[in-house]
Amino acid sequence: MPFRDLVNQRHAIMLLRTAARGGRVSHAYLFAGPAGVGRYDAARAFAQLLNCHRPAAEDACGECRPCRLIAAGQYPDVRTVDVERGLLLNNDPDEQKKKVISIEQVRALRREVVFPPLEGRYKVYVFVGADNMQAEAANSLLKILEEPPAQVVIILIAESTVPMLPTVVSRCQLVRFSLVPAAEIEQALVSRHRLDPGRARFIAALAGGQLGKAVTWATSPEALEWREQALDLLERMETADPLERLDAAEAAAKDKERLADLLDVALFWYRDVLVWQEMRGDTYLVNLDRKERIAALGAAVPGAVLSERIRALEEAKDGLRRNVHPRLLLENLFLRLTPPAEPSRR
C-alpha cells in the first residue's frame, strides 16, 4: 500500500517522502514503535516509492509492476527478513524452520547485498523484529551498515531500541512510530473496512492504538462472535449466584489468549454504563450497538457499584501482568462483579 493508504504516522511518512524527493535516502533506517501501528506497511510504501515507475505527489502509484509486486511480496529487489518467525532470504526449507536469524543467514545477506539491483532502482531489505536479533547476527549486520553498498536501503523494524546493539542503532536513521488515536482507527474501520459505526467504535477502543489489532478484529467473524459471548457473560454476572460465578471463571480461564481482551471488554462495558449515567447520551459510548442494555443497566446499577467493578477490573489487569493464575484471578474478579446489595425500591 502506498503512503496515502496508511493511517496516521504523518511525521514518519513526511520524513521518508522528503528523503525520497530530495534524493537523500539513507542507507539504513530504524522504524521504532509499538506493533500494529503501520511500521511494516510504511516500509513497503517506502520501497514502492523508491522503485515506482510513475511516482506522483511524493507517493508511489500503487499500480505499476514494481508497486504491484512489492505489495504482493514478490519483487526481487525488496526482501523481508522476519527475525521472529525465522522467515529468511533463501528458500532452503531447513533454514526456514529456524526461529532466529542465524549468523550464516546474515553472512549470506552480506554476500548478496553487494550485487546491484536486479531490476529496480534500490534494493530494500526489511528486518521485522530486529530487536530480537541475536548478538552474533547483529554484529554481522553491523558490518553491512558500516560499509553500505550503493543502492541498498536496510530498514530495521523494532518495538524498542533498548535491546539492540547501540552501534547498530547509531548507524540507522531513527524513524519513530506512535500509537494511532482511537478516533482515526474508528474512521478507518468505517471508511475502508465498511464496518458499522457501533462496532467500529468498540473495536477502535479495544485496539489500544494498534490499527493492526483493530483490523484483525474487524475482519474476523470469530473475534466479533467472541465479543458477543464476552458481553453475554457480563450480563449473566448481573444475576449469577456464587457457584455460577466460579464455574464461569473456570470456563473463561481456559481461553488464556483472550484473557487480556476479556478484561478490556469488561472495563469498556462498565465504563459505558457510568458514562450513560453521567451524560444520558451515546456520544461517548464504546458499545454503541448495545445502547439499550447500557441504558437499562445505568438505571439499575448504582454508580458506586460500577466504580467498584472497574476497580476490581483494574486490579485484575494488574494481576495478569504479574502472572497471577488465570482461574484464581477470574474467580476473585467474578465474585466482585456482584449486583447491588439492595434492589432499588421505588
C-alpha cell of residue 99: 526461529
Name which of 60 and 137 has its Cβ closer to Zn ion: 60
Q: Count CA within 13 A, CB hemisphere, residue 209.
A: 9
- In the complex, minimum distance from the CB of residue 54 to Zn ion, in angstroms, rounded to a whole number: 5
Strands 78-82, 173-176: pairing is unpaired
Q: Are 56 and 48 in contact (CB under 8 A)?
A: no
| Helix or strand run (H / E) with residue 125 | strand 123-128
- In the complex, minimum distance from the CB of residue 6 to Zn ion, in angstroms, rounded to a whole number: 16
Contacts 24+ apart (CB under 8 A), 243-246: 245/331, 245/334, 245/335, 245/337, 246/331, 246/334, 246/335
Name which of 47 and 237 has its Cβ closer to Zn ion: 47
Angstrom distance (rounded) from CA 159 to CA 32: 5
Name which of 62 and 129 has its Cβ closer to Zn ion: 62
Angstrom distance (rounded) from CA 33 to CA 16: 16
The C-alpha cell 514502492 sits at: 48
Name which of 60 and 265 has its Cβ closer to Zn ion: 60
What letter represents residue 84's amino acid? E
Name which of 61 and 300 has its Cβ closer to Zn ion: 61
- In the complex, minimum distance from the CB of residue 1 to Zn ion, in angstroms, rounded to a whole number: 12
- In the complex, minimum distance from the CB of residue 51 to Zn ion, in angstroms, rounded to a whole number: 8
By CB under 5 A, name the binding residues for Zn ion.
52, 60-61, 64, 67
- In the complex, minimum distance from the CB of residue 221 to Zn ion, in angstroms, rounded to a whole number: 34
- In the complex, minimum distance from the CB of residue 71 to Zn ion, in angstroms, rounded to a whole number: 10
